[in-house]
Amino acid sequence: MTTKSNKKLTLLPQAITARNTGVDLDLDWVSSIQANTSAIERRASSIGSRRSIKKQHQAAWLLQAVKCMDLTTLSGDDTTGRVRRLCAKAKNPISKTILEKLGLDSIKVGAVCVYHDMIEAAVSKLRGTGIPVASVSTGFPAGLSPLPLRIAEIEYSVSAGASEIDIVISRRHVLTQNWKALYDEVKDFRKACGSAHMKTILATGELGTLRNVARASAVCMMAGADFIKTSTGKEPINATLPVSLVMVRAIREYHEKTGYKIGYKPAGGISKAKDALTYLCLIKEELGDQWLNPELFRFGASSLLGDIERQLEHHITGAYSASYRHAMG
């Protein structure tokens, strides 16, 4: 292979962020939150066209996207072998040849996300790498198990070695505007997580309106969420730019009022490198460079990695390779 550029890339350093302890539920704050759907959709439609990221800059942004990726397998036919292969990819997500051409020694993803029964396999494979294991919990994806069982599920996953827990909220609390019930539920989940970071999945495709998304985001952050996340990936509608714009602006308002920085995770339907660039632009424009690191931003995707690796290979060779050359494991 021939390289088009030997200039070394520089990636953003990881930030150090104080963990959100939550605040008292403020119903006046919640009721004051509105969402102008037409304005939100206009702004969202402009995000992908406002910046043109090319050549060396595009390669650097795509590598940052890899660092912010939660490699995920949440299928009924998951096996320990599949999880171990995914973990091997997590440790070396981009081929050594490509990294050498870009002037980098190594890179790793943000986390590996699995069901509870696969935590042990993931933890053993990732031991010593610094890559956290995340586990979905609380009756994922519907969140309709009895509350004591959902809390126990979190505790089991933490004891098994998961350092991040992706919980799902009860959508009915949002749809009925029962913000106290949602706040209490998420606060119970946060307590059960202990030192494990909690990503709160809103399942935005099932919340009805953007105003509901905005209010649910605020309530979950008040209850102590470390991240707010769009989707389980199992809903008919998953991550979208309008929803993402609403959620990151809720994060910005919460930070302005409390001083706490909350992470954001779009999940489901993000499979192309150009989509990753658009989401990174959204975060940069709405929240700033401090959020462009795995401590505060994650992609919930796996198929995305293959397309990013293809784009990086095109950057250094000028030719696109077949997708089967960039398998997940």
The CATH number of whichever domain residue 304 belongs to comes to: 3.20.20.70
Q: Does residue 7 lie within any of the structural domains?
A: no
Domain containing 243 equals 27-318
| pLDDT one-digit tens code per residue, 67-114 | 999 999 999 999 999 999 999 999 999 999 999 999 999 999 999 999
258 within some domain: yes
Residue 178 pLDDT more than 70?
yes
Which residues have CB under 8 Å from 182's CB, separation 6+?
169, 170, 173, 174, 216, 219, 220, 223
Specify whether the CB–CB gap between 56 and 102 falls below 8 A: no
268: closest CA among 213, 198, 203, 200?
203
- pLDDT score of 329: 54
- How many domains is the chain built from? 1
Nearest to 162 by CA among 138, 134, 137: 134
**Could you tell me the pLDDT band of residue 16, with boundaries at 50, 70 and 90?**
low
- In angstroms, what CA-CA distances link 21 with 66, 188, 191, 216? 28, 13, 10, 17
Does residue 141 lie within any of the structural domains?
A: yes
CA-to-CA distance for 178 and 24, rounded, in angstroms?
A: 16
d(CA 92, CA 289): 25
How many Å apart are CA 192 and CA 158, to the nearest integer? 9
Q: Is residue 3 part of a domain?
A: no
Q: Count the Cβ atoms, other than its own, within 10 Å of residue 16.
A: 6
Higher pLDDT, 6 or 230: 230
Classify residue 22: in a domain, yes or no.
no
Name the token pair of 270: 């993000």
Specify if 313 maps to a domain: yes
Residues with a known catalytic role: 166, 229, 265
Q: Is residue 238 part of a domain?
A: yes
Is the pTM higher than 0.85? The answer reads yes
What CA–CA distance (Å, rounded) separates 65 from 69? 6
27 vs 38: CA distance, rounded Å: 26
326: in domain: no
